[in-house]
Structure 1
Amino acid sequence: MPNAVQCKPIPALYTVYILRSTVRHASLYIGSTPNPRRRLSQHNGLVRGGAARTSRHSLRPWEMVALVSGFPSATAALKFEWALTNPHISVHIPSEARLTISTQTKANGQPRRPSKSLASVVSNLHLLLRVPSFGRWPLRVHFFSRDVFAVWEKWCAAASERLRPSLGVVTDFGNGAGGGLGSVVSVEDPGEGLATAQEGAGGQPWGIHALPLDYEPIKDYVAKGREIFEFERQGRCVMCREDMPSGEGLHALCTNDGCDGAGHVSCWSRHFVGDGATDDIVPVQGQCPKCKGEVHWGVMMKELTLRVRGQKDVEKLLKRKRKRARKKPAPASSAASP
């Protein structure tokens, strides 16, 4: 089984979500899925599946009020989900930093999981996004409810430690409570809008329905990588200037449009992190030596694993859709000769 997992590319989407009952807001549920739309339908009993804890009709319908995306694998998402569900015993949280403490024990002597509240889930989410285990992953936080985002903003303002600036926080309230447009906001200043996201007006999809479930957002980047590496146009490494023979080692490509800067993965990593200058070993982002543009490590690795391990996914993504041939009108039947 581990070999099968290692042979897969980084998934197009994998999320850890927070579910809330629309009937009883105090009822919360945390789960993980590659398809939030389908999963929500399962929790609400519209599709087979779901979880026993969300099957009570008195709590339905449920809504996804927030989620975290950008996990490099299903296993990574499950680890984050478990830590967020069990912050009182998670080994990913140092004892001195733990926000949730168990005060009761089960019959077997193990700590009993404390009851969840929106404030406790949000505060532990903020904590997990900055611990060493997850702090440098290419994650993004999405909020689909104004009141939940307000709790997040309040905690961010009160927290003694900030999240890394490159971690994106996306709001998309659509036609839901409060209305309004979606936007990407900076974690350094949660109230400052930086870019417009999916609009919710005019019948456009919003929230989880606007999240892409496939690799379409990086289609042009994947096409660029295929053209460069299939035709062996990678040339020399933009960092070490050594040749990069095709099929020898792992080579990654600049994520910026119009730039064909390529290099060894090890060189990109050292370039982003530095040669022993810090204790960080997982790159986050950096500057391309060729185009001087900002490069995101997570996007770069997604394209690399897709190119190396996901040939079928690449073919499907880049396959040109055939135009349907118009049916020729049937010839008019000639009138019978008198």
Structure 2
Amino acid sequence: MTVPSKPIPALYVVYILRSSVRRASFYIGSTPHPPRRLKQHNGLVKGGATRTSRASLRPWEMVAVVSGFPSKIAALKFEWAFANPHLSLHIPSSSRITIATQKKRNGHPKRPPYSLTSIISNLHLLLRVPSFVRWPLKLHFFDRDVHNAWLKLCSTANEQLRSTMEIVTDFEPHAETRVAAENVEPGVEGEDEESAASPPVWGIHALPLDYAPMREIVTKTESIFSFEREGKCVVCNEHLPTGEGIYAACTNTGCEGVGHLSCWSGHLLGSGRTDEVLPIGGHCPKCKGPVTWGEMMTEMTLRMHGRKEVEKLLKAPRKKRAPAKATAKSAAK
């Protein structure tokens, strides 16, 4: 297996935009920073795409994203297949849902217009095809109507997604909750007044843009490999010489199970399986806790090819400055 020279991205998503003015207008794109990209599409900062620049369609809203891509290239491949389901070779001809019925001036097939039904149907299809089905992808819905359309499709589909595919929803808080949050009085002295008065964070603004969710795992593995506590492979029980192999580690808290990459792969795929080469997940041989291949590979690629990111992640947080009000009170005393 070839290990990438860069760590797996902290976040890279393929997203679905919908016009909040003309709700039948959609756009598909990819980005490592959804909040910034949405601002670009809405003309608040430079960038965006020509197709989303019409004032009559703004503002756009990001109604769903697919995350968990192992690289930027992987996300771009999925994006192109998703945006061009009438051409993509990732979709077998026998399974193709979107068919081009017109041609461009250059003779190439013209992409049929998007609709909510076609987008949801092609997304469901792409998440099942051999090219993408074993990637550690995660599907997020931020709009109730789009999620309901997804549920309706899933209830009637002949084929279902793999059972380990994670699907999450994060809808806009109810108006009452928003108003209450916006009108909340500043906290008592010593509380973070700014955060207390802030409305709840949801949707794309709640997605982690960095490796912060990996901090606990990286802290543990940094200690294991820095102090040469690799020990024996948790699968084959052979000694693991420091710095002489590609080792993966269990991601469960308190477990220091380490093993050869090939051993982990074979263990998670299961004995006797020869038709699959990319694991999805399973259980650690040492602690018996659940592990996912995607999370293990994120940690391993960070450790091997992301020293700057690791140092930034493990850097002690800066102490917050005391509020000016409290400082003045102390001076008066």
* Common topology (TM > 0.5): yes
* Residue 248 (structure 1) aligns with: 244
Distance 1:248 1:276 in 2: 28
Distance 1:238 1:70 in 2: 26
Distance 1:179 1:287 in 2: 40
* Residue 117 (structure 2) aligns with: 119
Q: Counterparts in 2 of 1:152-191, with a 5 A limit?
A: 152-175=150-173
* Residue 264 (structure 2) aligns with: 268
Contact 1:173 1:179 in 2 (8 A): no
Distance 2:170 2:112 in 1: 30
* Residue 142 (structure 1) aligns with: 140
Do structure 1's residue 289 and structure 2's residue 276 form an aligned pair?
A: no
Letter in 2 for 1:209: H
Letter in 2 for 1:287: H
Contact 2:17 2:28 in 1 (8 A): yes
What secondary structure does 1:58 align onto?
helix
| Cα separation, partners in 2 of 1:325 and 1:142, compared to 1, 3 Å | closer
* Residue 20 (structure 1) aligns with: 18
* Residue 64 (structure 2) aligns with: 66
* Residue 225 (structure 2) aligns with: 229
* Of 298, 315, 319, the match for 1:319: 315
Distance 2:262 2:244 in 1: 13
Distance 2:172 2:110 in 1: 38
| Cα separation, partners in 2 of 1:112 and 1:324, compared to 1, 3 Å | closer
Q: Which runs of 5+ in 1 are unaligned?
A: 181-200, 333-338
The normalised TM-score by structure 2 is 0.88
Give 1:234 shift. Answer: 1.0
Do structure 1's residue 301 and structure 2's residue 266 form an aligned pair?
A: no
Distance 1:206 1:257 in 2: 27
Distance 1:178 1:149 in 2: 22
Contact 2:4 2:301 in 1 (8 A): no
Distance 1:152 1:320 in 2: 42
Letter in 1 for 2:146: V
What secondary structure does 2:220 align onto?
helix
- The answer to which structure, 1 or 2, has the higher relative contact order (CA under 8 A, 6+ apart) is 2
Letter in 2 for 1:299: E
Q: Which runs of 5+ in 2 are unaligned?
A: 179-196
Contact 1:10 1:306 in 2 (8 A): yes
Contact 1:140 1:168 in 2 (8 A): yes
| Cα separation, partners in 2 of 1:179 and 1:265, compared to 1, 3 Å | farther
Structure 1 runs (4+) deviating above 3 angstroms are 176-180, 324-329
Distance 1:251 1:107 in 2: 53
Using the aligned pairs only, state the percent identity: 63
**CA RMSD, Structure 1 to Structure 2 (Å):** 2.3
Give 1:158 shift. Answer: 0.9
Q: Counterparts in 2 of 1:89-100, with a 5 A limit?
A: 89-100=87-98
What secondary structure does 2:64 align onto?
strand
Give 1:47 shift. Answer: 0.7
* Residue 181 (structure 2) aligns with: none
What secondary structure does 1:65 align onto?
strand
Distance 2:108 2:20 in 1: 32
201-210 vs 65-74, which deviates more?
201-210
What secondary structure does 2:294 align onto?
helix
Distance 2:33 2:212 in 1: 15
Do structure 1's residue 108 and structure 2's residue 106 form an aligned pair?
A: yes
Give 1:280 shift. Answer: 1.2
| Cα separation, partners in 2 of 1:179 and 1:22, compared to 1, 3 Å | farther
Give 1:276 shift. Answer: 4.4
What secondary structure does 2:56 align onto?
coil
Work out the number of aligned pairs and report it. 307
* Structure showing the higher helix proportion among its residues: 2
What secondary structure does 1:37 align onto?
helix
Contact 1:18 1:30 in 2 (8 A): yes
